[in-house]
Amino acid sequence: MGFLWLLEGLRTPFWDKAMQLVTHFGEELFVIAIICILYWCVNKQLAYQLGFSYFTAGLSVQVLKITFRIPRPWVLDPSFHAVESAVPKATGYSFPSGHTQGAGCLFVTLSLQTGKGLLKALCILVFALVGFSRMYLGCHTPRDVIAAAGTAVFFSCLVQHFRDFLLCGTRHLKLVALTLGVCSAAAAAYALLLLRSGIIAVPFASDCCKAAGAGLGFAAGWYVERTKIQFDTKTRRRWYQIPKLAIGIAAVLLIKQGSEIILGASIPAKMLQYFLMVVWVLVIYPFLFSRNKFSKIRIISAIQRKSNMLY
């Protein structure tokens, strides 16, 4: 807490706003938006790599949160005050930092794909600034940030090391999808067990189950897309990517907001919400904007079958 008290003494209105802006680079919707841009329009393989690191690290962070159950700094020390604008987004337990983990998975993964130079340094700098912003805003202690940064780096490097195993070929698709699905389901079961035992409250269990729902969606979506759809990010005109991206992201937001209205805010509803969001990104929307390709394949297949019958 001593370092947070030091930072509180250095706060100014300008830096409060600046750090609030920086912290957005670690938020869930920002990372998902980057995954959508890469996945739908730029580089599907890189998006998959980012998805593996982000969802596995995120699941691990949520399990760590409900295991150690360390309160936020202002709960640890009631005399300490965080920057007011940052408090509403600081949900769940404090250890480890979810924003730092999100920024770490994003920018470490991107830095691993760049050569030595300015871009790599920029990625590392933004990652470090997000972690610092969480402490400046008073939402996390150095311990929270260091643990989250270590988790993000570990999973990003692990996915990079096994990149060919995960992304090349189809031999291990079922094994990988099943493993991720089982881990996600186990995390949800663990959270619900702690909730049933009275150890954690509903909001904390809900955060972990949301991560589990996203993990299940990624496991299922990755498997179905790799085996059934295999869409191409390219379009006939480059500017077509703009409306394609806008419509897809608007639908993600609609699913997020609409499912809350229709399904409510229960834990199963939250799990389903995040499952649907990820499946939309990975499977449903790619199928819709590549349906013309499927129509052509079906027509060609029908012609080939008729030709074979004639001969």
- Residue 56 to residue 67: CA distance in whole angstroms: 17
- pLDDT band of residue 303 (cuts 50, 70, 90) is very low
Kindly report, residue by residue over 241-282, the tens digit of the pLDDT.
899 999 999 999 999 888 888 888 899 999 999 999 999 999
Kindly report, residue by residue over 16-31, the tens digit of the pLDDT.
999 999 999 999 999 9
- pLDDT band of residue 90 (cuts 50, 70, 90) is confident
Contacts of 82 (CB under 8 A, 6+ apart): 72, 73, 74, 90, 137, 138, 139
Looking at residue 299, its pLDDT comes to: 35
- pLDDT band of residue 202 (cuts 50, 70, 90) is very high
Looking at residue 107, its pLDDT comes to: 96
H helical segments located in 24-116: 28-37, 44-68, 73-76, 98-112
Nearest one of 133, 69, 123 to 99, comparing CA atoms: 133
Sign of CA dihedral 168, 173, 175, 179: positive
Looking at residue 306, its pLDDT comes to: 46
> Rounded mean pLDDT of the chain?
90
Looking at residue 257, its pLDDT comes to: 87
Asked whether the bond before 96 is cis by omega within 30 degrees of 0, the reply is: yes
Domains of the chain, by residue range, sit at: 1-168
Contacts of 296 (CB under 8 A, 6+ apart): none
Whether the predicted pLDDT of 296 surpasses 70: no
- pLDDT band of residue 291 (cuts 50, 70, 90) is low
